[in-house]
Amino acid sequence: MLACVKRASGELVVEQRPQPEAATGEVVIDIAYGGICGSDLHYFHDGAAGEFTITEPLVLGHEVVGRIAALGDGVTGLALGQSVAVHPAEVCGECAACQEGQPHLCRASRYLGSAAHTPHIQGGFTEQLVVAAERAFPLPAGMTLRRAALAEPFSVAYHAVRRAGDLAGKTLLVTGAGPIGSLAVAAAKQAGAGTIITSDLTDHALGLAEQMGADVLVRADQTEPHEHPGQIDVAIEASGTAAGLNSCIRAVRPGGRIVQVGILPPGTTAILGNALVNKEIQLHGSWRFHTEFADAIALLASDIDPEPLISHEFDLVDAELAFRTASDRSSASKVLLRMNPEPADSSDV
Ligand SMILES: [Zn+2]
Ligand SMILES: [Zn+2]
């Protein structure tokens, strides 16, 4: 089977890997789609995402959906051919974070397509993937695999919105209108937020955020969000830049809250520390998600339509072109790799 591999030397190749087999309690999935994430793009361009550096060949990808191709012994509740979204995390279940119901903070967590550990955790941009059966989440009837491909990024956005607290009627700023920022806009709207202001450097991304529910659009290179009238109660920083975070620090009202969900550049980030102090800003990190995955699938099957964010599809063999396309924020948003798409799914492209 084919897999999209980033080598430590820097090359991105699509090469043969052994066909996986399902052990007891596992399932093999024919992957239909894999979404290219900002972290995949960081691995592609820099060989590192945040603090995680590629030191050996890594199959990229953690936003994957597909159909059950084989069931290991002892697997119940799943059927051959069933459409599923793959939960990308496997946690230890024993550490303090796991025991306290915060498994997404498990330091032993093994996340698909991640260089956090060595040996690296091989990812899902493959024709087939084997995972523990409980990580295969069945899709509701009628939900397309293409739509479900947004389950992982939507879970990240949904977790960030939950970290923002009660948003009912509140004015919200979202800096960065990539897929995570735009999905956060949609999740915040669904959670009852009042006015939602979104900032980005490209009109293309802002247009998508508007389709996902943003009320006020700000070109971050032309004006500051805090120049806009009205109090900003909460900010979600989804650009992963110091400039974005400092915009949030300037923009939120005294006592306001900031949720940092964008992955910042490796190392130290210079921030407006004294404004953090004298406005008593609550600055919260937001890292991945865990139990939100099932909720995210249900919301994507009903209230939230992510289709505007899916800008391109490429076959797995064209992965390099897909990665280059996804890197151009003036025209791309979520780019999907296509492995074994459903006939019905590919007709709506
Ligand atoms: Zn992702
Ligand atoms: Zn743990």
Q: Which tokens belong to 204?
A: 């293309």
User: How far, in Å, from the CA of 217 to the mean position of ligand 2?
Assistant: 40
Percent of the chain predicted with pLDDT > 90: 92
Sort 192 into a burial class: Cβ within 10 Å, 0-12 / 13-18 / 19+.
exposed
Q: What is the CATH number of domain 2-150+306-347?
A: 3.90.180.10
Helices 179-190/151-163 angle, 10° precision: 60
Give the Å distance between the CA of 106 and the centre of ligand 2: 4
CA angle, residues 36, 11, 17, in degrees to nearest 5: 75
Give the residue-averaged pLDDT of 99-112.
Answer: 95
| C-alpha 37 to ligand 1 mean position (Å) | 4
**Who surrounds ion ligand 1 at CB < 5 A?**
37, 63, 153
Task: Give the domain ranges of the chain.
Answer: 2-150+306-347, 154-285
Mean pLDDT of 160-184: 97
CATH class of 154-285: alpha beta
CA of 335 relative to ligand 1 center, distance in Å? 11
Q: Give phi and psi for 146, each to the nearest 5.
A: -60, -45
Q: How far is the CA of 74 from the centre of ligand 1 (A)?
A: 30
How far apart are alpha carbons 326 and 38 in whole angstroms? 9
pLDDT at residue 55, rounded to an integer? 97
The whole-chain average pLDDT of the chain stands at 95
Q: Is a pLDDT exceeding 50 seen at residue 152?
A: yes
Nearest CA among 242, 238, 244 for reference residue 220: 244
Q: Which ligand is nearest to the CA of 154?
A: 1
Contact between residue 59 and residue 123 where contact means Cβ atoms under 8 Å apart: yes
- C-beta separation of 21 from 70 below 8 A: yes
**Distance of alpha carbon 46 from alpha carbon 209, whole angstroms:** 27
CB 194 within 8 A of CB 169: yes
Per the DSSP assignment, residues forming a β-bridge with 64 are 34
User: What mean pLDDT comes out for the span 121-140?
Assistant: 98
Q: Is the pLDDT of residue 274 over 90?
A: yes
Instruction: Look at residue 342 in the predicted model and tell me its pLDDT.
Output: 72
Residue 228's pLDDT is 66
Place of tokens 């550990």: 117
Cα–Cα distance for residue pair 228/90, rounded to 1 Å: 43
pLDDT of residue 308: 96
Task: Tell me the pLDDT band of 344, cut-offs 50, 70 and 90.
Answer: low
Query: What separation in Å is there between the alpha carbon of 11 and the centre of ligand 1?
Result: 21
Question: What pLDDT shows up at residue 271?
Answer: 96
The yes-or-no verdict on residue 347 having pLDDT over 50 is no
Beta carbons within 10 angstroms of residue 79's beta carbon: 10
Mean pLDDT, residues 267-271 taken together: 94
How far is 90 from 114, CA to CA, in rounded Å?
12
Q: What's the residue count for the chain?
A: 349
**Three-state DSSP state, 196:** strand
Closest ligand, as measured to the CA of 96: 2
Q: Is the pLDDT of residue 346 over 60?
A: no
At 229, the pLDDT band (50, 70, 90 cuts) reads low
| Mode of pairing for the β-strands spanning 136-138 and 172-175 | unpaired
Indicate if 154-285 has the same CATH topology as 2-150+306-347: no
Which numbered ligand comes closest to the C-alpha of 91? 2
Distance 161 CA to ligand 2 centre (A): 23
Closest of 12, 14, 18, 4 to residue 130, by C-alpha: 18
Question: Residue 83: phi, psi to the nearest 5?
Answer: -80, 130
Residue 61 CA: which ligand is closest? 1
* Ligand 2 center to 188 CA (angstroms): 29
